[in-house]
């Protein structure tokens, strides 16, 4: 671990362990729930790179006052994620293509605001390798759909078993542009299974998410809602960001991978909320992550909550 990674982890972990936790066990109730599914086939109708992921978040706290609290620890998020990354050709990967990688992560995060800045920070454990059984899951899914599954050679060359502790922090500040639109620049830092710093912004027009708890998906950057308040309606979201990545366990240097100078993302989506149901669909452009990557890709994201 280089000095940058060590300093970043120490700074974020210090903030997490120093934060007050005012909630006792009997105070905590579930305040909301959110999830998001990402899949390459929903974007550019292919199956490679950031091929598929699922993330879910459960929000706990004493109460929700339609705005983030002023102190860390009053709103807690438990996040679970499963993610599959794969080469362009699952049967015979090309030389220089990325290895298959399955990962499962569990994290604890807190959301609050200070001086107009929205802050989310937390810690996670990320398991990689055959221990996740995600290579078996993709094989079973492909067999069921009549699509070629990962070959034995592809699965043998996948990223190995390991547990990666990590930390994440994001700071953003929303600026209202009118009664129903806002722009939100943000800064993010991660250390762990990947170590990076990222800056970007999101623009939303339509139904304001100001009274909702929003969580950013780590793969696409799309933000999904976990606490739903206010009137129904439709909103449109666009955003973009760029990151400098110093290391990635998914693209290890000892296998000859060289990371690109920067990692770009651009996204758009539509969110709707009715009386009993709500949903989201978005698409995200993902730039190259490593120098021998054959092409960029477009990933689709979806979340549906239908009640009849």
DSSP string computed for 82-104: EEEEE-S-SSSPPTTPPPPEEEE
Distance CA 41, CA 297 (A): 10
Distance CA 131, CA 160 (A): 9
pLDDT at 274: 80
pLDDT tens-place string over residues 108-119: 999 999 999 999
pLDDT at 276: 76
Domains in the chain: ranges and CATH:
3-305 (2.40.128.140)
Q: Report the share of the chain in percent with pLDDT over 70.
A: 88
pLDDT at 17: 47
pLDDT at 265: 98
Q: What is the pLDDT along the chain (308 residues), one digit of tens a residue?
A: 565 556 555 555 554 444 544 455 557 899 999 999 999 988 888 889 999 999 999 999 988 888 899 999 999 999 999 999 999 999 999 999 999 999 999 999 999 999 999 999 999 999 999 999 999 999 999 999 888 899 999 999 999 999 999 999 999 999 988 878 899 999 999 999 999 999 999 999 986 556 788 999 999 999 999 987 756 788 999 999 999 999 999 999 999 999 999 999 999 999 988 877 889 999 999 999 999 999 999 999 999 877 66
> For the chain, how far is it from start to end, CA to CA, in angstroms?
52
Distance CA 156, CA 295 (A): 24
pLDDT at 268: 97
Mean pLDDT of the chain: 89
pLDDT at 109: 97
pLDDT at 179: 79
CA distances from 128 to 104, 107, 125, 140, 227 (A): 7, 15, 10, 19, 30
Q: Which of 26, 35, 39 is nearest to 77 (CA)?
A: 35
pLDDT tens-place string over residues 24-48: 555 789 999 999 999 998 888 888 9
Q: What is the pTM of this model?
A: 0.88
pLDDT at 290: 97
**Please, what is the Cα angle at 213 between 118 and 282, to 5 degrees?**
105
Pairing of strands 233-248, 297-305: unpaired
CA distances from 155 to 54, 129, 135, 306 (A): 21, 10, 7, 37
Tokens of 98: 């990325």
Tokens of 229: 């308040």
Max Cα–Cα distance, the chain, nearest Å = 56
Report CA torsion sign: 101, 102, 104, 110: positive
Could you tell me which residues are beta bridge partners of residue 266?
A: 240, 285
């Amino acid at each position: 671990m280089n000095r940058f990674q060590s300093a970043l982890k120490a700074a974020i972990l210090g903030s997490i362990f120093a934060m007050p936790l005012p909630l006792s066990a009997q105070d905590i109730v579930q305040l909301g729930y959110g999830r998001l599914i990402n899949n390459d086939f929903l974007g550019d109708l292919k199956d490679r790179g950031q091929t598929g992921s699922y993330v879910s978040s459960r929000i706990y706290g004493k109460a929700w006052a339609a705005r983030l609290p002023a102190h860390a620890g009053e709103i807690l998020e438990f996040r679970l994620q499963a993610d599959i990354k794969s080469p362009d050709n699952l049967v015979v990967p090309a030389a220089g293509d990325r290895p298959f990688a399955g990962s499962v992560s569990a994290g604890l995060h807190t959301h609050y605001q200070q001086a107009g800045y929205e802050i989310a920070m937390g810690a996670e454990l990320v398991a990689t390798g055959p221990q996740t059984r995600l290579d078996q899951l993709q094989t079973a899914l492909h067999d069921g759909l009549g699509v070629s599954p990962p070959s034995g050679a592809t699965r043998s060359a996948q990223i190995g078993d390991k547990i990666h502790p990590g930390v994440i922090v994001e700071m953003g500040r929303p600026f209202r542009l009118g009664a129903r639109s806002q722009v939100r620049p943000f800064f993010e830092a991660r250390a762990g299974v990947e170590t990076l710093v990222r800056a970007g912004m999101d623009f939303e027009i339509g139904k304001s998410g100001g009274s909702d708890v929003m969580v950013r998906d780590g793969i696409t950057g799309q933000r999904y809602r976990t606490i739903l308040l206010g009137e129904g309606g439709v909103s449109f979201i666009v955003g973009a960001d760029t990151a400098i990545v110093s290391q990635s366990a998914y693209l290890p240097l000892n296998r000859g991978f060289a990371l690109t100078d920067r990692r770009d993302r651009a996204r758009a989506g539509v969110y709707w909320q009715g009386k009993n149901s709500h949903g989201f669909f978005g698409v995200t452009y993902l730039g190259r992550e490593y120098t021998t990557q054959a092409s960029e890709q477009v990933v689709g994201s979806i979340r549906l909550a239908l009640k009849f």
